[in-house]
Structure 1
Amino acid sequence: MFLQKPAVIPSLFSLIMCCTTIANEKHTLNAALPPGHNFELLDWNISLPIDTNKDGQVDIIPAVYLEKGFEYKPYFYTADDGGMVFTAFVEGVKTSKNTKYTRSELREMLRRGDNSVNVKGVTKNNWVFSSVRGQTQRQAGGVDGTLKATVAVNNVTVTGETTQVGRVIIGQIHAKDDEPARLYYRKLPNNTKGVIYLAHEPRKGNEQYYEFNGSRASNIEDPIDGIALNEKFSYVIDVKGNTLTVSLIREGKEDITHVIDMTDSGYHKRDQYMYFKAGVYNQNNSGNPKDYVQATFYRLENSHTGYNY
């Protein structure tokens, strides 16, 4: 490596059917509204770490239901200040047999509720780098991409293995099989503040890590430039061609930015497709089952060349 689910609960189907319809126009954040009325969620779905219909898989809520006003405590709901809350306990259903950790996480869906478009592949549901050939670009839903978010991490795990405690992923770029970008927040139990760091996973070779405001190590003292729980900050994940740029933005402080050259990472191939993810992806499976991660989002904006929404 380089440095640089709970007790029996009601069926989600019944909850979805009783959701209110979305308002005709967007509002500023309002604590009385569900997340889909405060945020544009028609181009996202959400995976929750539960299996209410007992089919052996996580519950995935489609974009159209998010837009109509779906929420489900304690995993996904509107906070008292209008923010969009995501929660994932150590114990819960995983998204696949190969997934080690639980998540309450949005997955970008550029098809915007059009089920005739395939979810996977180079389709109008996903985006590609502008470094791929033009024909592939035309098949995709967008080219290159920017994800902007403002978030506060409210809780991280305090139990479990030393290497896992306190870790949560709050934003990603996912490709066909790999992850060009995973953005982490980590706070150790004895510290008052946490740090932000980025992992870039080339298709071949070791993962590369980039630290923003302190070390990601498991034995650090309180980071001088750290971020406390419930403290708001912003991030931007941006791709143009083979260049990945990720910035940490905080009020009253200079932005911290890493620029990664992905020319040799293998994502410019014509079979590679991308989608953003945002929410909480718990990176601890060794702690107390009821230990959890939680974050509240106050801004979430995704954009792509050729995607005009």
Structure 2
Amino acid sequence: MLKSGVMVASLCLFSVPSRAAVPAPGDKFELSGWSLSVPVDSDNDGKADQIKEKTLAAGYRNSDFFTLSDAGGMVFKAPISGAKTSKNTTYTRSELREMLRKGDTSIATQGVSRNNWVLSSAPLSEQKKAGGVDGTLEATLSVDHVTTTGVNWQVGRVIIGQIHANNDEPIRLYYRKLPHHQKGSVYFAHEPRKGFGDEQWYEMIGTLQPSHGNQTAAPTEPEAGIALGETFSYRIDATGNKLTVTLMREGRPDVVKTVDMSKSGYSEAGQYLYFKAGVYNQNKTGKPDDYVQATFYRLKATHGAQR
């Protein structure tokens, strides 16, 4: 498919500094095409707060979970204890959700609409309804802290990027550092739609072990691992039925993995996609105040135009 255009998926005696005077991620990052989940429930609706696009871009910050660092990075933090996004989720997150509608509330957030995108392998009728066709997410970040308590197969895990579909995730990109290691691993999961096969796991740097299915594993330090605080980049590209994940670090060769999604079910009518980025804590068994944190220095989502 030829892409004809590109859309690039924040009365008193003493003066009190306004909320806007405190630097926020939206002051440096273009966040009009994103919403944010934070692990607090300030409106007491039983779910994590959702910060909509216009509020986020206008300078929203949360001093505990979503801030701008002194170096100009967008900092995400999620403790083990906190509000969850739904009853079906048992992990906390401080995470952006791509919103191609950019605050236009006349456009539905779910479904094949101008808010979401589809693959170029989807029916042409779906491509015409979507907000974009195919997608690339590029990020430069450092993972600054991971959990150190809890059961061994959950400790140290955090999801730093995703493609989400109606009910499943074509990709969840993980960073994971074990307590006795100095460096961490990077791997990802590809989840076909229900009825289209089993979840697939791909190791890029180091190993995903120990896991739920192999809790006795004792992996050695990953030779080419990524330390906490070390800057690296990733690119997630979904074009047609091909999913390509690339890891990039200065002074090291790129690490690339490609997945054939032709039998995963995401090209069928009714399937829509969106990117997510931030920290999605993958530990629910550690101490309540144990947490994950990452700083993003660059985040850019792009898509081909509708046909």
- TM-score, structure 2 as length reference: 0.89
Query: Which residue is 1:33 aligned to?
Result: 23
Counterparts in 2 of 1:155-174, with a 5 A limit? 155-174=145-164
Equivalent of residue 77 in structure 2, options 72, 87, 94 = 87
SS at match of 1:65: helix
Q: Which amino acid aligns with 1:207?
A: E
- Aligned position for 2:257: 258
Distance 1:82 1:216 in 2: 31
**Matched residue of 2:275: which SS?**
strand
Which residue identity does 1:233 align to in structure 2? F
The separation in 1 between residues aligned to 2:87 and 2:47, in whole angstroms, is 10
Q: Secondary structure at the match of 1:299?
A: strand
Distance in 2 of aligned mates of 1:213 and 1:178: 24
User: Which amino acid is 1:57 matched to?
Assistant: K
**2:205 counterpart SS class:** coil
**Residue of structure 2 in register with 1:282 after alignment:** 281
Residue in structure 2 matching 1:136, options 116, 121, 126: 126
**Residue 101 of structure 1: aligned partner:** 91
Aligned partner (choices 75, 95, 114) of residue 124 of structure 1: 114
Q: Offset at 1:206?
A: 1.4
Q: How many residues align?
A: 280
Following superposition, the deviation at residue 197 of structure 1 comes to 0.3
Q: Secondary structure at the residue paired with 1:20?
A: helix
What SS does structure 2 have at the residue aligned with 1:255? strand
Check the 8 A contact 1:47/1:103 in 2, yes or no. Answer: yes
Task: State the distance in 1 between where 2:67 and 2:269 align.
Answer: 38
- Residues 1:197 and 2:187 are matched in the alignment: yes
The aligned residue for residue 183 of structure 1 is: 173
TM-score normalized with structure 1 length: 0.89
1:34 to partner: Cα distance: 1.2
Secondary structure (helix, strand or coil) at the match of 1:254 reads strand
Q: 2:36 aligns with which of 46, 49, 53?
A: 46
Aligned partners of 1:257, 1:130: CA distance in 2, in Å? 22
Which one of 207, 229, 243 corresponds to residue 199 of structure 2? 207
Percent identity over paired residues:
56
- Is the 1:33–1:82 Cα contact (8 Å) retained in structure 2? no
1:20 aligns with 2:12: no
Residue 37 of structure 1 deviates from its aligned partner by 1.4
Amino acid in the other structure paired with 1:143: V
- Give the residue type in structure 1 aligned to 2:120: S
CA positional deviation for 1:65? 1.1
Indicate the residue corresponding to 1:76 in structure 2.
66
1:19/1:68 contact within 8 Å kept: no
CA contact (8 A) 1:243 1:262 kept: yes
Report the AA paired with residue 120 of structure 1: Q
Report the Cα distance in structure 2 between the residues aligned to 1:167 and 1:20, rounded to whole angstroms. 34
2:233 corresponds to:
234
With CA pairs under 8 Å and 6+ residues apart, which has the higher RCO, 1 or 2? 2
Structure 2 residue identity aligned to 1:153 = V
**Gap regions ≥5 residues in structure 2:** 1-17, 211-217
Q: Which whole-Å CA distance do the structure 1 matches of 2:304 and 2:32 have between them?
A: 18
Which sections of structure 1, spanning at least 5 residues, go unmatched? 1-17, 22-31
Deviation at 1:205, TM superposition (A): 2.1
Helix, strand or coil at the partner of 1:136: helix
Look up the equivalent residue of 2:163 and give its one-letter code. I
Change (3 A) 1:19 1:114: farther
- Pick from 67, 90, 93 the counterpart of residue 57 of structure 2: 67
Q: Deviations over 1:89-142 (max 9, x none)?
A: 000111111111000000000000000000000000000000011110010000
| Partner secondary structure for residue 81 of structure 1 | coil
Match of 2:301 in 1: 302
Give 1:82 deviation, angstroms: 0.8
Q: CA deviation at 1:19?
A: 4.6
Spell out, residue by residue over 1:149-208, the C-alpha distance to the aligned partner (whole angstroms, 9 max, x if none). Answer: 001000000000111000000000000000000000000000000010010001132111
